[in-house]
A and B are shown apart, each in its own frame.
Chain A
């Protein structure tokens, strides 16, 4: 599945990441910058007013849209086709790629340009198009960097090449594309511009994702900065946009609110350089507009969340604000998640879309500090959803040892006598592992923790003794 990154186990990937000091440095510095920019454009921007009010507005809109998703999707489809566009509802990733392949074959397409889109990454669209001998060109700078670096995978939802520094990018350009310039970002970007200019003009098909569709008018809105999305949707004869089925708003009024939340939360901008709103055309009279416009609306597991405790996960607008505040992401980076969706939202979304068997361990990649929930512009209770996932995972997929441990704890905790014995016995049981009042190499479930940091040794006193003593009039610090 194209959503998946790498074949190693979760802990294997985490180990790799923890040893990559360079990547961790890049991640923490990028996280700081993104977080700072967001703060400046949200709670610190006086003109924007009460940011909490904006978050409530976002939540309200997303909840209403999801509760009435069938209605608004039907409205979108009706308005899109009324204006001459074609709509394909895809149940699975395979259905979506097959449809795009069919369109490409029918158009005898050779060259396909793409704007940045996580959903096309999710369904493996590039591979599907290459299978039928199309040349696929990623045109977003970050995606272009990854593509020419032997199809490296994204490590961040908004800035997919976040794990690379400018020297690495210079070397990749030099080795793979005969670049002769320096590591200056301006020169590197100018190189990409020169490389892709003619490619935009020669493309037969332009592929985009969709930040938001507007049901009321059958429009697709793209929120971008580089100008490549405009290129991709202006010059090819055929445009194909692919959207997750939840990515829509009822009318233009809500588009305004969501665009503001996205621009400020994702990149700290009042508005991105381009907000491009595209609607199929009834009359074919423009020289620089596609003649054919297809919209693929994708389920691919999203409906698993509808009507469940996880429905709010579909409120996500892919701003990565939660990723940018996550202490775990900061340390392990994007690839360790093993999914193209990383960070807290990735840990919530990946199991919904890809199942617990593949992604059930991801909800453990969290300290449950709730910084993600606080950062989310549409108020998804991310840390609570992570807990729900953990419960489900332990129930259905938990390892026997973990289940036994939970069961043993259950038995012990249900009997006052057993509980008392366990608490009293703890210092003695841990004694072989204690060194200088802490545990450096703990047994069983403590092993993973103590590999990275020390664990305090159990104290000789315990809460019950302390409480009893206090009731008898003893000191609080006994």
Chain B
């Protein structure tokens, strides 16, 4: 993809600077903010406390939680998949499935591993799937949130189209809150690293309160969610 087009920029921005009563600004140094309450939340929490908060807040958002160890993970995932009615399983293409010894479970459950070369067929499979399985890249204790850096292999559809999602949450990925996640993203942007086209913060099943403020779980995205915390990874 080549660089995109810009229309009407100069006139538009000149009008803004004129309204602000000054010349266009070529450089702005962002101030050191006087108020930064975000860094105070759970700032001294130990990993176990962060995991406990992550669990509590996941449950609050009607996300089921299972805690296990790396050794017990395969069995846990096998059990969870069978609980979702034995329907089709779809997963992201992620080396961590191998690292965590999950490949046999995926083979056994005839999981479809996302393969960009198959094109639209992936989407057709995902929309009929019972469960989509993926790893959380960063996990937020404060809100029971999992974060995906989507791309060619870590496809957006896996957490979105199936009836349920199952996120594997290594305990080491749990940070206090969004602050630490955005800080990490900011640093990678500043370092000139390529940015994921979709950084997805997901906190449980889709829901809506649009009808008389009654919470309905399961609207356009998944209707169920499960976070599997791997306590020793």
Identify the A interface with B (CB < 8 A).
Answer: 26, 29-30, 33-34, 47-50, 53-54, 56-57, 60-61, 64, 67-74, 77, 80-91, 95, 99, 139-142, 145, 159, 161, 165-166, 169, 185-186, 188-190, 192-193, 196-197, 200-201, 216-217, 219, 225-228, 230-231, 233-235, 245, 250-253, 255-257, 259-260, 267, 269-289, 293, 297, 299, 303, 306-307
Q: Which residues of A contact B119 (CB under 8 A)?
A: 287
Show 8 residue pairs from A and B whose CB-CB distance is below 8 angstroms, ordered by the A residue: A57-B33, A67-B20, A161-B210, A189-B211, A189-B218, A271-B201, A276-B201, A306-B20
Rounded to whole Å, the gap between the CB of B182 and the closest CB of chain A is 4
Query: In the bound complex, do residue B5 and residue A87 qualify as a contact, i.e. CB atoms below 8 Å apart?
Result: yes
Fill in one digit per residue for B133-164: 1 if any A CB lies within 8 Å of its CB, else 0. Answer: 00000001011010000111001110010000
Give the residue of B5, B28, B145, B218 whose beta carbon is less than 8 angstroms from that of A190: B218
Q: Which residues of B contact A99 (CB under 8 A)?
A: 7
Query: In the bound complex, do residue B200 and residue A159 qualify as a contact, i.e. CB atoms below 8 Å apart?
Result: no
Q: Which residues of A contact B19 (CB under 8 A)?
A: 303, 306-307
Q: How large is the interface on B (under 10, 10 to 19, 20 to 34, 35 or more residues)?
A: 35 or more
Query: In the bound complex, do residue B219 and residue A60 qualify as a contact, i.e. CB atoms below 8 Å apart?
Result: no
Q: A81-B3, A297-B12 are in contact. Are A287 and B122 (CB under 8 A)?
A: yes
Query: In the bound complex, do residue B211 and residue A141 qualify as a contact, i.e. CB atoms below 8 Å apart?
Result: yes
Query: In the bound complex, do residue B178 and residue A256 qualify as a contact, i.e. CB atoms below 8 Å apart?
Result: yes
Query: In the bound complex, do residue B15 and residue A273 qualify as a contact, i.e. CB atoms below 8 Å apart?
Result: no
Q: Which residues of A contact B209 (CB under 8 A)?
A: 159, 225, 267
Which has the most chain A C-beta neighbours within 10 Å: B14, B16, B33, B116? B16
Alpha-carbon separation in the docked complex, A196 to B182 (Å)? 33
Q: Which 9 pairs, one residue from A and one from B, show the smallest C-beta to C-beta distance?
A: A227-B221, A227-B206, A84-B1, A89-B12, A57-B35, A306-B19, A275-B201, A81-B4, A227-B220
Query: In the bound complex, do residue B8 and residue A88 qualify as a contact, i.e. CB atoms below 8 Å apart?
Result: yes
Q: Which residues of B contact A275 (CB under 8 A)?
A: 178, 200-201
Query: In the bound complex, do residue A216 and residue B186 qualify as a contact, i.e. CB atoms below 8 Å apart?
Result: yes
Rounded to whole Å, the gap between the CB of A220 and the closest CB of chain B is 10
Query: In the bound complex, do residue B42 and residue A47 qualify as a contact, i.e. CB atoms below 8 Å apart?
Result: yes
Chain A residue at smallest Cβ distance from B152: A285
Q: Which residues of A contact B222 (CB under 8 A)?
A: 227
Query: In the bound complex, do residue A185 and residue B211 qualify as a contact, i.e. CB atoms below 8 Å apart?
Result: yes
Alpha-carbon separation in the docked complex, A297 to B20 (Å)? 18
Alpha-carbon separation in the docked complex, A190 to B211 (Å)? 12
Query: In the bound complex, do residue A166 and residue B212 qualify as a contact, i.e. CB atoms below 8 Å apart?
Result: yes
Q: Which of B151-198 contact A (CB under 8 A)?
A: 151-152, 155-157, 160, 177-179, 181-183, 185-186, 189, 194-198
Q: A49-B41, A227-B222 are in contact. Are A307 and B21 (CB under 8 A)?
A: yes
Query: In the bound complex, do residue B142 and residue A277 qualify as a contact, i.e. CB atoms below 8 Å apart?
Result: no
Give the residue of A69, A186, A231, A274 whose beta carbon is less than 8 angstroms from that of B16: A69
Identify the B interface with A (CB < 8 A).
Answer: 1-9, 11-17, 19-21, 24-28, 30-31, 33-38, 40-42, 57, 61, 114, 116, 118-120, 122-123, 127, 140, 142-143, 145, 150-152, 155-157, 160, 177-179, 181-183, 185-186, 189, 194-214, 216, 218-222
Alpha-carbon separation in the docked complex, A111 to B36 (Å)? 44
Q: Which residues of B contact A256 (CB under 8 A)?
A: 38, 177-179, 181-183
Chain B residue at smallest Cβ distance from A54: B37
Q: Which residues of A contact B120 (CB under 8 A)?
A: 287
Query: In the bound complex, do residue A273 and residue B12 qualify as a contact, i.e. CB atoms below 8 Å apart?
Result: no
Q: Which residues of B contact A165 (CB under 8 A)?
A: 212
Alpha-carbon separation in the docked complex, A275 to B160 (Å)? 13
Alpha-carbon separation in the docked complex, A166 to B222 (Å)? 23
Q: Which residues of A contact B177 (CB under 8 A)?
A: 256
Query: In the bound complex, do residue A252 and residue B160 qualify as a contact, i.e. CB atoms below 8 Å apart?
Result: no
Q: Which residues of B contact A271 (CB under 8 A)?
A: 140, 142-143, 145, 178, 201, 203
Query: In the bound complex, do residue B218 and residue A288 qualify as a contact, i.e. CB atoms below 8 Å apart?
Result: no
Query: In the bound complex, do residue B35 and residue A234 qualify as a contact, i.e. CB atoms below 8 Å apart?
Result: no
Q: Which residues of A contact B116 (CB under 8 A)?
A: 285-287
Rounded to whole Å, the gap between the CB of B63 and the closest CB of chain A is 10
Alpha-carbon separation in the docked complex, A74 to B57 (Å)? 39
Q: Which residues of A contact B214 (CB under 8 A)?
A: 166, 185
Which has the most chain B C-beta neighbours within 10 Å: A82, A90, A273, A276? A273
Chain B residue at smallest Cβ distance from A224: B206
Give the residue of B35, B157, B218 whose beta carbon is less than 8 angstroms from that of A60: B35
Query: In the bound complex, do residue B16 and residue A306 qualify as a contact, i.e. CB atoms below 8 Å apart?
Result: yes
Q: Which residues of B contact A225 (CB under 8 A)?
A: 206-209, 219
Q: A226-B220, A230-B160, A307-B21 are in contact. Are A235 and B123 (CB under 8 A)?
A: yes
Alpha-carbon separation in the docked complex, A272 to B205 (Å)? 11
Query: In the bound complex, do residue B9 and residue A89 qualify as a contact, i.e. CB atoms below 8 Å apart?
Result: yes
Chain A residue at smallest Cβ distance from B187: A252
Chain A residue at smallest Cβ distance from B20: A307
Query: In the bound complex, do residue B203 and residue A273 qualify as a contact, i.e. CB atoms below 8 Å apart?
Result: yes
Extra inter-chain contacts (11) besides given A47-B142, A70-B17, A287-B155, CB under 8 Å: A54-B35, A84-B2, A88-B6, A189-B211, A252-B186, A253-B182, A270-B57, A273-B61, A273-B221, A274-B200, A281-B1
